[in-house]
Each structure stands twice: as C-alpha cells, then as structure tokens.
C-alpha cells in the first residue's frame, strides 16, 4: 500500500466525481430523480464491466471523441434549459411556480419514464467514470501500486457520492424555474468544457477553468435577464 499514490488518486478522482455528482443531482432535480439515478447506476455498471474486461488497456482508450459527443449533448440541453429558465424568471419572477408545479414549461410528466434525464446522467457518469478509471491505471501502474490507486479513487466516489445523496433534498426544494436556470448553466458549463477538449482544444489551467466558464454563463444570463425585463417594461 502506498499512501502517496492513494492520496494522489483520491484528489485526482475527486475532481471527476464532483462533476459526476453535479450532473446527476442537477438533472434529477430539474427532470426526474428516478431516471437520473437509474442512468447513473447504469453508467457505473457499464464502467465496472468495461474495467473488468479491459483492465490496464483502458489507458489506451481515446477520450477525445467521448468528450466531444457528451459535451455537445450537454451543451444543447443546457442552453435549452437556460433559455427556458430565463424566460420563466423574466415573465413571472424567481419564486413563482414551485418544484411540484406541473404547469411550468418543460416540466417532466408526473407519470412515465424520463428518457432525457436517464441519457444525460448515463452519459455524464460513464464519461467521468471512464476518466477516473484511466487515472487509476495511469497512477497505479506507473508507480506499481494499482491497488492503492483504486482504493483512493473508490474512497472519492463513496465520499462525494454520499455528499450528493445528503444534499439532494435541499436542492429539490428550490423553485423549478430557478432549477431550470441553474441546471442550464451547470450543463452548459460542463458541455462547453468537454466539447472543446474533445475537439482538440485545451483550456488554460485544465479543469480549473470550469468556474470561469460557469461565471461567464452566469454573467451572460444576468445580462440577458436584465435586458428582457427592460424590454418588457417599455
């Protein structure tokens, strides 16, 4: 057992797990918890099967095409939800229409399975999980301590996954139109980051650029909201 490899894997995997949990919680709160959690579970099962079948060969899997596809999907849905959230807030204010308000535009059906929520969570978890697996193989195989790297990554998944499970009820109490706006920003942020990375671009600072991308979307949404209200009051 190598303590340095375990800690390195835990910290590196934590970044990916935070992104994974953010997507699952955001999609679950805005669309359907059942479909989002099922998509996450299926993504983890697929990842486990892939790891079992390929093992160290995972290090040779090209992540760029996956990032491009998943990033583009999240970006399309994120911008759509961002637009609808902005229009709803500009029209009726921040607090109108609670989470259970089925009249809110684009709210998921009360019954039936939400395939969109399933696909978004499945793709987000699969991509982030594959990146965690590559981190484990790279750190563990390189240092000769694959078990330590795997344990560090597993601890990150359990710890941060538990944090997401503890906070989802608080997230669910937020008015749906606010969630639409927030989830649109979250998905658009991750989608922009992954799509650019998948297309061969590189962000300054790597994943440290995510807060800056998110801040840009927040600022843009705020400016559009102010502009929309100015036009409405004329």
pLDDT at 56: 66
Q: Collect the ranges in the chain with pLDDT lower than 50.
A: 97-110
Q: pLDDT tens-digit profile of 157-186?
A: 888 888 877 876 776 666 767 777 887 888
pLDDT at 105: 42
Coil, strand or helix: which one is 145? coil
pLDDT at 118: 93
Conformational region of residue 104, where left means phi above 0, alpha means psi within -120 to 50, and beta covers everything else: beta
pLDDT at 233: 67
pLDDT at 99: 40
Question: What pTM did the predictor assign?
Answer: 0.64
Where in the sequence is the domain holding 158, given as residue range(s)? 3-233
Cα separation, 82 vs 182, in Å, equals 7
What token pair was written down for 135?
């981190």
**Number of domains within the chain:** 1
pLDDT at 39: 92
pLDDT at 103: 35
Q: What are phi and psi of 109, to 5 degrees?
A: -65, 150
pLDDT at 88: 80
pLDDT at 139: 65
pLDDT at 122: 92
pLDDT at 66: 73
């Amino acid at each position: 057992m190598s303590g340095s490899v375990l800690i390195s894997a835990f910290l590196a995997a934590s970044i990916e797990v935070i992104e994974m949990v953010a997507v699952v919680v955001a999609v679950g709160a805005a669309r359907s918890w059942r479909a989002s959690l099922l998509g996450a579970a299926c993504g983890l099962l697929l990842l486990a099967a892939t790891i079992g079948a390929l093992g160290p060969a995972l290090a040779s899997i090209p992540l760029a095409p996956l990032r491009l596809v998943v990033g583009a999907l999240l970006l399309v849905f994120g911008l759509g939800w961002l637009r609808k959230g902005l229009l709803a807030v500009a029209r009726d204010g921040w607090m109108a229409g609670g989470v259970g308000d089925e009249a809110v535009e684009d709210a998921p059906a009360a019954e039936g399975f939400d395939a969109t929520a399933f696909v978004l969570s499945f793709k987000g978890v699969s991509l982030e999980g594959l990146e965690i697996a590559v981190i484990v193989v790279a750190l563990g195989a390189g240092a000769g301590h694959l078990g330590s790297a795997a344990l560090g990554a597993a601890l990150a998944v359990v710890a941060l996954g538990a944090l997401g499970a503890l906070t989802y009820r608080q997230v669910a109490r937020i008015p749906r139109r606010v969630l639409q706006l927030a989830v649109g920003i979250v998905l658009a942020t991750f989608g922009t980051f992954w799509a650019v990375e998948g297309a061969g671009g590189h962000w300054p600072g790597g994943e440290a650029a995510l807060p800056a991308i998110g801040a840009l979307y927040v600022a843009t949404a705020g400016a559009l909201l102010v502009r929309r209200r100015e036009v409405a009051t004329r």
